[in-house]
Amino acid sequence: RRVPPLKIGITCVSSHGGSGVVATELGLELATRGHQIHFITSSPPFRLVGRDADMTNIHFHEVESIHYPLFEHCQPYDLALATRMAEAVEKEGLDILHVHYAIPHSISAYLAKQMIQARRPTVSLPIIITTLHGTDTTLVGIDKSYMPITRFAIEQSDGVTTVSSSLRQSAYENFDIWNTDIEVIHNFVNCDIYSPRLKRSEKEFSQLRSLYADPSEKLVVNVSNFRRIKRVSDVIEVFARVISVLPARLMLIGDGPDRQMSEHLAKELGVFDKVQFIGKQGNITKLLPLADLIILPSEMESFGLSALEAMACSVPAIVTRVGGFPELVKDKINGVICDVGDIEGMTEATVDILGDPENLESLSSNMKTITTRHLAQR
């Protein structure tokens, strides 16, 4: 069904995180289909910066919040956002405000709508779509200081989506909103940019890979924001056991609060020279295809976008039995699912995959078919 061109405001966390990635990719895809996309964010979304894509239908509205000494501990960004949203709706005639994260984005959208209704009753009101990504529902949103307002924002939205069935269930349970219609729309990746050995010759591929591992070594990867919940230390523990069995290197992409502790652990376990902490990277689509395996041992993951990104590059994933992971990874078919903290289980799975070329090949090819099917259904 062809949808007439719409004017869509998109708000997301622009500095980091899978939710911003999904929001950006959605905006880009909608723009290529002729819709006018208006990002209303504090800065241009990080995946948009330097992206070689057609920006014809993409617009950006920067949310500037003042830094006033009186608000030393609480710059009221959500109010500045509501103001900018209302302006964008009035000026551009936006049909939809699609917000990623209930807190604070959904609340700002609600306020914007109220402002327009009160001041400009002739302006048609936008539809508010809220996409829940996880932390807003499973952690911050259920903190008692935010719970009632988050529930209110979800209930006031015209449409609510979650990135996995597991997250929908948590939203129903945590907020007791059983009468709210929540649609599950799984995260997705753009297979034109996430693909095995992306448009690169064997020579170019080997050259790039040699920066991170020797040809005789397997390359294991983890992508995270180094928050405690990501359990990067488990990856290092597993890796330290694995290299006593087979030659390998570990590439840790990302940065955050646990990075120092992780570096310390790698030193303590005597594997620091085999672990590369490469920080935040803009060229993740080039790095992921270099890996043989991704390990994501998170304590919670409403979806686990990094697993899907790696899988789209034919890299099998070892993940934990939490949140949305089991909706993406099929145990022993396109990856392996272990319990949280099961270092021995993850080590065994890693050795089984990396030490057996046939197993690795079979997981990779199964995964490609399943992932492609999963994406094509969207």
Q: Which is nearer to ligand GMT, 107 or 243 (CB)?
A: 107
Of residues 11, 51, 13, 8, the one with CA closest to residue 33: 8
Say whether residue 106 binds ligand GMT (CB under 6 A): no
Say whether residue 30 binds ligand GMT (CB under 6 A): no
Place of tokens 């990104």: 309
Place of tokens 């396109």: 334
Say whether residue 259 binds ligand GMT (CB under 6 A): no
| Residue 183 beta carbon to ligand GMT: minimum distance, rounded to whole angstroms | 14
Say whether residue 302 binds ligand GMT (CB under 6 A): yes
| Span from 13-21, 48-56, 141-149, 172-180 in contact with ligand GMT (CB under 6 A) | 13-21
Q: Which of residues 125-154 bind ligand GMT (CB under 6 A)?
A: 133-135
Q: Which is nearer to ligand GMT, 213 or 287 (CB)?
A: 287
For residues 316 and 56, give the distance between their C-alpha atoms in angstroms, rounded to a whole number: 36
Residue from 18, 45, 126, 289 binding ligand GMT (CB under 6 A): 18
Q: Which is nearer to ligand GMT, 227 or 330 (CB)?
A: 227
Instruction: Show the CA angle centred on residue 154, arms to residues 151 and 158, nearest 5°.
Output: 150
State how far the alpha carbon of 345 is from the alpha carbons of 7, 238, 348, 376, in Å: 49, 9, 5, 32
Of residues 59, 4, 65, 66, the one with CA closest to residue 28: 59
Of residues 109, 163, 98, the one with CA closest to residue 137: 163
Determine the residue with CB nearest ligand GMT: 134
Q: Which is nearer to ligand GMT, 347 or 371 (CB)?
A: 371
Residue from 111, 300, 329, 363 binding ligand GMT (CB under 6 A): 300
| Residue 68 beta carbon to ligand GMT: minimum distance, rounded to whole angstroms | 27
- The DSSP secondary structure of 226-280, one letter per residue, reads --GGG-HHHHHHHHHHHTTTS-EEEEEE---TTHHHHHHHHHHTT-GGGEEEEES
Q: Which residues of this chain interact with ligand GMT, rule CB under 6 A?
A: 13, 17-19, 22, 133-135, 163, 187, 225, 227, 229, 300-305, 323
